[in-house]
Amino acid sequence: MRLKSRLSLWEKNGLISADNASAIQSFEKNRTSKQFAIGFQMVGVFSILLGFAMVIGANWQEIGPYAKLAAHFALNAGLGIWLLKLHKTIGQPNDRPILREGVCLALFGLTLTFIALIGQVFQLDGSTAAALILWMILSVPMMMMFPRSRFSASLWFVALIVTVIMGFFEFSKPLGDFEKGVFGYFLALFVPLSVFGDHCMTITRKYRPEFSDVFRRGSLVLLICAATLSGFWFYGAGNDFYRSASHGSQHYLFIGLITACAFVYIGFLKTCFKDHEEPSDWTVLNLCVAAMALPLFIVVDLDFLGALLFMGFWMGLGYIWQKAGEDKLVSLAITLVTLRLYIVFLEVFGGLMTNGIGLILAGCVLIGMVKGAKRFSNFLKETV
C-alpha cells in the first residue's frame, strides 16, 4: 500500500489528524527528492573519477613504477585527510553530505586500485579473489564509519557479495565436488544470514540506519533468490551432488548440520533482538532455509517436484507478506506462482503448441490465469 493510501486510511480511522497526514507526506516527499538528487550527483562524481582514470590509463606506460606508487599513495592519503575533515562537519551548518559521500566512495575504489598497483609493481603472484578480500578487510572500518547514504551502503554490499563469489571460485578449486558443494551451501546460507545479523545489531540500527536497511533488504533478497533457485536441484543436480559424497550418510550429516546451525542462528537472533521492527522477517528466513535444504534431503530427479517447491515457497511468502500488509510483495508472489503454473502447463501440453488449436488453448489459459491472479490479488488486498 502506498504512503498516500496509508495516510488516508489512518486519517479515516482517526489514528492521525489531517495536519499530521499533510506533514508526514511533505516530509517524505522532501526526503525522497533529496535521495534522488544525491543519487544522480553520486553518478556524476563516479563519471568524473572514471574520466580521470581513462586519462591516466592512456599515459600509463610513460610513468615509472615507483612514481605510480608514490602518486597513488599521496592521492589516497589526501582523500583520507579530506574525508576526516568532512566527517567533523556532520550536523554543522557547513556540512556537505554529497561531497563527503563522494570522497568516501572515491577512497573506497582507489584502495582496490592501490592494492592492484602494488601487485603489478612488485610482480606479486596473487589472485583477483585475494586482492578483493584484502580490499574488503581494509575498507570495512572506513565504510562503517564515514558514509551515510543508502547508495554507499548498497555499493559496499554488492562489493561484499562479489568478493564472496570470487573467493569461493578461487579457493574451492582444490576441493572435490562434494566438498565444493557443501562449502557453497554454507556460504549461500550464512553470508546473507550474517549480514542480516549485522542489521539486527542495535549499534547498526542506531548509528547507521541506512546500512541497516540495506543489509536487511539485501540479505532477504539473496536468501529468497537462493531458495527460489534451489528447485533446480530436482533437475538432476541434487542427485549428482549426492553421488559425489563418499557415502550417503556423509551427505546427510553435513547438509543436516549446516541446516540445523542456520535454524539455531535464526532462533538466536530472534531471541536476542525481540524488538525487531519486522516480525515477519523471522518467518521468511526460516522458510528460505527450509526451501534451500529440502532438495538436498529429497534426492530425486523429478522436475515436477522443482515446480511444486517453487510454487509452495512463493505461496508461503505471499501468505507471510499478506499477514504483514505488504500488498506489492503479495502481488509479486501471486504473479510468479501464476507464471510457474503456466510453464507447467506448457511442459505438460507442449505438443499442442504445434497446431492452431493448441495455441488458442494456451492463450486462453494464459488470459484466464492472469485475470484470476489479478482478482485474487485484489481480494487479498481487501481482506487486509
Q: What is the pLDDT of residues 200-251, one digit of tens each?
A: 998 888 888 999 999 999 999 999 999 998 877 766 566 666 666 666 678 8
Asked if residue 164 and residue 274 are part of one domain, the reply reads: no
Asked if residue 118 and residue 187 are part of one domain, the reply reads: no
Instruction: Mean pLDDT check: name the lowest of 169-183, 321-335, 365-379.
Output: 365-379
Tens digits of residue pLDDT in 33-50: 566 666 677 677 778 877
CB 198 within 8 A of CB 140: no
pLDDT band at 1; cut points 50, 70, 90: very low
Please determine, for residue 359, whether its predicted confidence score (pLDDT) is greater than 70.
no
Asked if residue 192 and residue 121 are part of one domain, the reply reads: no
Asked if residue 85 and residue 45 are part of one domain, the reply reads: no
Which percentage of the chain shows pLDDT scores above 70?
82
Asked if residue 316 and residue 235 are part of one domain, the reply reads: yes
Asked if residue 119 and residue 214 are part of one domain, the reply reads: no
Asked if residue 153 and residue 54 are part of one domain, the reply reads: no
pLDDT band at 320; cut points 50, 70, 90: very high
Nearest to 224 by CA among 261, 193, 256: 193
Asked if residue 295 and residue 207 are part of one domain, the reply reads: yes
Asked if residue 1 and residue 89 are part of one domain, the reply reads: no
Torsion (CA) 266, 272, 273, 279 in degrees, nearest 10: 40
pLDDT band at 129; cut points 50, 70, 90: very high
pLDDT of residue 92: 85
Range of the domain at 92: 63-171
Domain boundary among 62, 90, 105: 62
Domain boundary among 147, 171, 195: 171
Torsion (CA) 55, 61, 63, 64 in degrees, nearest 10: 150
Cα distances from 106 to residues 54, 75, 102, 139, 233, in angstroms, run 15, 10, 6, 12, 41
Instruction: Mean pLDDT check: name the lowest of 87-91, 247-251, 285-289, 290-294.
Output: 247-251
Asked if residue 238 and residue 121 are part of one domain, the reply reads: no
Give me the number of domains the chain comprises. 4
Q: C-alpha grid cell for residue 22? A: 499533510
pLDDT of residue 256: 94
Nearest to 344 by CA among 373, 318, 367, 365: 365
Tens digits of residue pLDDT in 157-209: 999 999 999 999 999 999 888 888 899 999 999 999 999 999 999 888 888 89
Residue owning grid cell 573506497: 108
Nearest to 110 by CA among 38, 62, 49, 166: 49
Domain boundary among 31, 62, 93: 62
Asked if residue 195 and residue 318 are part of one domain, the reply reads: yes
* Residue of 151 and 11 predicted with greater confidence: 151
Helices (H), 122-176: 128-145, 150-171
pTM of the model: 0.79
Nearest 5°: phi and psi at 377? -65, -45
Instruction: Mean pLDDT check: name the lowest of 54-68, 263-277, 340-354.
Output: 340-354
Asked if residue 282 and residue 195 are part of one domain, the reply reads: yes
What's the mean per-residue pLDDT of the chain? 83
